[in-house]
Every structure is written in C-alpha cells, then in structure tokens.
Chains A and B, each alone.
Chain A
Amino acid sequence: MDLRSHSKPIEEFNFLDPAVLDNPFEYYRAAQEQAPVYLMPETGMYLVSRYEDLRQVLLDTETFSNNLDGYGMLQGENWKVHQGILQERGWPDLPTLNFTDPPVHTRYRRIADSIFNAKRIAAISDRIEELCNLIIDRFIDRGECEFVSEFSFPFVGTIISEQLGLDSEKMSTFKKWGEAIMAPTSRVMTVEELRENAETIVEMQHFIAGKLEERRKEPRNDLISALVSSRGSDGEELDMMELQSFMRQFLSGTYESVVTMISHGMLILLREPGVMEQVATDLSRVPDFVEEALRFDTAVPGLARLVTRDTELAGVHLPAGSIVMTRYAAANRDPAKFDRPDKFDIDRKDKAHLSFGTGPHLCVGRLLARRELVIAFRTLLTRLKDIELARPLPEIAHVPHALLRPMKELPIRFAKADAA
C-alpha cells in the first residue's frame, strides 16, 4: 500500500450518502488510492476515478458504449410504464447523440455541432451579455439576492429558452420540464411517479412539436430554426422522433449544468482566499478562472458507459454488460495528472480537465457554456463588489444526485460597483 495514502478505507464510504455526494472529494481520493476501478456496492456500477483510465474509457467507444438507456437506467422493469405512455401519446425515446456510438452517432453529432459551433455562439454573444445585464438590473438595487434562483437560473434559462424558441415567460414550466427529464436519473421512482413524470414529458413533447412546425414554416435567427433546417451529411433532415430526442438532451443538458456551474463559480469566489480579488482586479483572467472552476467542481460529475465485451481496466476485470461510471469530477482531482489538485489555482498551466469529457462525445454545448460563464463573471464582477455570503449555507449544500450537483441555494450580499 502507498505510504503517502491517508485515506479512509473505501468500504467505509457510501456513495449515495447525501454528505458524500455533497462533498465527494475525500471519497474520490480514497478510490484513486485504493481501488481506482471500484465496484460500488450501493449502485452496482464501476467507478472510474483516475484521469488516464477515464480518458481511455472515453476514447474507446467500441468497448465502452453509450448505447444504454441513460434516462431509465435506475428504474428497472417499471421504466416500461414511461415508455408506454410516450409511445401512446407522445414520441417514444429514440437514442441519438449521447445514447449512440459512432458511426450512427457521427451523423447526429455533426448536426448538433452545426447548431452550437463557434460561429453561432459568437453571433449570439451580444445578446447573452444584454440578458445578463437585464437579470442583474432586477436585483442590484436590493444589495442582496438568492444567487441560484435570481441569477444563475434566470440567466441560463432565458438564453436557452430564447434560443430554443420557448417562451421566456414560461420559465417555470420550462424548469419543470428540465427537472422531469432528469428526475428518473436521480433516484428510483414509484410507478405512480413515473406515470406522472411521463405525462409531463408528453406535454413538453407536444409543445416542442408545435414550435418546431412554426419554425419550419417561418425560420428565425435562433438555434431551434437551425435545428429544424439542418441536414446530415446524407442530406436528410431529422424526423420528428429524432428532433424530440435532440430537444430532450438540449433541455436537460443546458438547464442544470450551466446553472450549477455558475453557482459553483460564485461559491469559489466566496470561499477560496484571494481569488475574488485576483479576478476582479484583472477581468482578463476571467477565462482562466472559468476553466479552473470547471476543473475544481464540475456540474456534471459523472455519466455512464456500457461495457460491450470482457475487458480489463487498471488491472480490474470488467465483464461484458457492466456499467462504468465515468467520474469526470474525480479525474479532475487526480494528483497523478494535476499538481496539488485540491488547490484552486487560476495560474495553473495544465488546463486539460475532463469536465466536458473527451473523445467523440465531448460536450456539444461546451462553447456555449464557456461563453455564458465568461460573460456572467465578467459582468457580475464589473457591476458588483464586496460580495459575501448573506447567511451560512445549509449543512448539505447540494441536492443529492448521482450524476448532477444542483445547489440548494446561495444567498449573497454585495455593494454596487458601477456608477450607474
């Protein structure tokens, strides 16, 4: 055993314990030191926690497949109830993007890239900045706000609802949909809950179908118009079932992850000594701050892969059919990759975190997410100063969730920095 290892035995942790999910970094270190590919008794999945092992998994799509039911994985047989309702009254789940492997994946991926690529994101940057200022206007005179619900959520929610053609006044509906998509991935639900959840998804699907038809007839300058008119390299447009599957991924991915990441960024500014000053006095450092925040506490700590054939990873035998949990958040704190991994350091040279994954499934929305994050912190640090926590956070600050990391709240106080 490694003499430098001081971690508590891995068996003494329970991954699903809300306290461990809230502050998992000691658990990740224990896994890295004692069992880098660890069969978690609580979930039946193999946790991959070291950087190089995770990279290997993400790059080898033949052995580690995305062809799994990512939404229903926890629900077992009962998931059929959900499938049945969609089949009957909405559009059944069709695997695209994150639930397919190359070469099927490649066609979907190019279409998604054509919507979220650098040129398009550059074209909507001014609008993102404008919206950011409008959101801040709403609370700045009060000198305080609940940051998650008054900044992160409305900022991200307005951008994405505008871009996806959803009415931004209907933001609470939109929030409900995002939560319905992700709920089955967070815990085992009862049949009744699954039924109710499927009804919400069907409602969303009909709304989306209407919007898609509208844009097909009258395209606008938004991402959803680009989506309906996009064609794969085979020249074919996406059909309604495929479009529904795309929208479902866009709504779940965009909503929670960027909201959480902005909240984490603020939490880091409040907690890590010297960082607020370092960034506020030199706003050209905001992009470095954002990259380090992504590494330090990512909003999507882990997803899953299906093992397609008997294989070995870091000396551990993985039978075909096993599920591997790709723990990006752990890899980002691997001491074999990052010098002093638990230190928040915007001067860090190595910025190759895995928060957006790597390989063919590298996050499609990364350019949009980065742009939103950079604009948010540049604007916040221009307009607010003396930011501090308004009251202590709940003892468990995150909503317990195996794959995401939503914050319960983040109440802040501040002074106005701008003359206006």
Chain B
Amino acid sequence: MVEVTFLCPDGTAVQGRGAEDTTLMELAKSLGIAGIVAECGGACACATCQVVCDEHWFAVVGPPNENETEMLEMAASTSLTSRLSCQIRLAPELHGLVVSVPEEQG
C-alpha cells in the first residue's frame, strides 16, 4: 500500500493508503476528498481531478503526459506543478506523497 496525504483547501490534511497500480484519483474519491470531482471517471477528459505537488514531489511524480498537458492547458487555473490525479499511478516510490487540492477545479 502507498501512503498519501491530501492537503485540502479548508486547511485539513487527509491521509490514506491506496493499492499499487490504482490511481491517485481513485484514492481521493474513496477518501471522499471534496475538491476532487473527477467528472470523467479517469478518462483524462475533464480536468476536475487536479492536484498540486511541491517541487520535491513533482520531481518524483514526473511531468504530465501529452494528453494531460493538453487538458491542463485548457483548465481555468493551474500551476507549474499541477497534475491530473487520474493520470498518476500509485507506486512504491510515491510512498509518503503529499499533494494539495486546489480550491477550484475545471
């Protein structure tokens, strides 16, 4: 299991564990993280599952893939270290990952 912490816009931190090879979005949904809408269910078609990493974790998680980059470019607001959580597969090197959930999605 891979342990992850979500920093929510209301200031709370929610911790959870997800199985390897499931996605970060699925973990967020199972924890009921309010800011992760994930309208397209992981098809990389909605950009409502954004998370923001700090620089350290962004280097570990890696940059967005090509499809994801296109979706992020069209979103209302993003930062340089934004990722779509449905495109991040949980793996051992992500154990301890910390991401923040933006105030608004879309």
Query: What is the interface of chain A, defined by CB distance below 8 A to chain B?
Result: 55, 58-59, 106, 109-110, 113-114, 117-119, 122, 233, 352, 356, 358-362, 366-367
Of residues 61 through 106 on chain B, the ones whose CB sits less than 8 Å from some CB of chain A are 66-67, 70-71, 74-76, 106
The answer to whether A59 and B66 touch across the interface, beta carbons within 8 angstroms, is no
Main secondary structure of the interface of A (DSSP, over half): helix
> Taking A110-B70, A118-B106, A367-B106 as contacts, is the C-beta distance between A360 and B75 under 8 angstroms?
no
The answer to whether A360 and B43 touch across the interface, beta carbons within 8 angstroms, is yes
The answer to whether A106 and B74 touch across the interface, beta carbons within 8 angstroms, is no
The answer to whether A106 and B41 touch across the interface, beta carbons within 8 angstroms, is no
> Taking A119-B74, A233-B70 as contacts, is the C-beta distance between A360 and B45 under 8 angstroms?
yes
The answer to whether A359 and B41 touch across the interface, beta carbons within 8 angstroms, is yes
The answer to whether B46 and A362 touch across the interface, beta carbons within 8 angstroms, is yes
> Taking A106-B67, A362-B46, A367-B106 as contacts, is the C-beta distance between A118 and B41 under 8 angstroms?
no
The answer to whether A118 and B74 touch across the interface, beta carbons within 8 angstroms, is yes
Rounded to whole Å, the gap between the CB of A267 and the closest CB of chain B is 25
A367 to B104, CA, bound (A): 14
| B69, closest chain A residue (CB) | A233
> Taking A113-B71, A362-B40 as contacts, is the C-beta distance between A233 and B45 under 8 angstroms?
no
| Contact partners of B21 in chain A: CB under 8 A | none
> Taking A109-B45, A118-B106, A119-B74 as contacts, is the C-beta distance between A362 and B66 under 8 angstroms?
no
| Contact partners of B46 in chain A: CB under 8 A | 362
A358 to B39, CA, bound (A): 6
Rounded to whole Å, the gap between the CB of A366 and the closest CB of chain B is 8
The answer to whether B74 and A360 touch across the interface, beta carbons within 8 angstroms, is no
Rounded to whole Å, the gap between the CB of A288 and the closest CB of chain B is 14
A119 to B74, CA, bound (A): 7
Rounded to whole Å, the gap between the CB of A230 and the closest CB of chain B is 12
The answer to whether A358 and B40 touch across the interface, beta carbons within 8 angstroms, is yes
| A58, closest chain B residue (CB) | B41
> Taking A109-B45, A110-B70, A233-B70 as contacts, is the C-beta distance between A362 and B75 under 8 angstroms?
no
Of residues 2 through 39 on chain B, the ones whose CB sits less than 8 Å from some CB of chain A are 37, 39
The answer to whether B74 and A113 touch across the interface, beta carbons within 8 angstroms, is yes
A58 to B46, CA, bound (A): 14
> Taking A118-B106, A233-B70, A367-B106 as contacts, is the C-beta distance between A359 and B75 under 8 angstroms?
no
> Taking A113-B71, A233-B66, A233-B70 as contacts, is the C-beta distance between A360 and B40 under 8 angstroms?
yes
Rounded to whole Å, the gap between the CB of B67 and the closest CB of chain A is 7
> Taking A233-B66, A362-B46 as contacts, is the C-beta distance between A117 and B41 under 8 angstroms?
no
One of B39, B42, B43, B47 near A356 (C-beta < 8 A): B39
Rounded to whole Å, the gap between the CB of B96 and the closest CB of chain A is 29
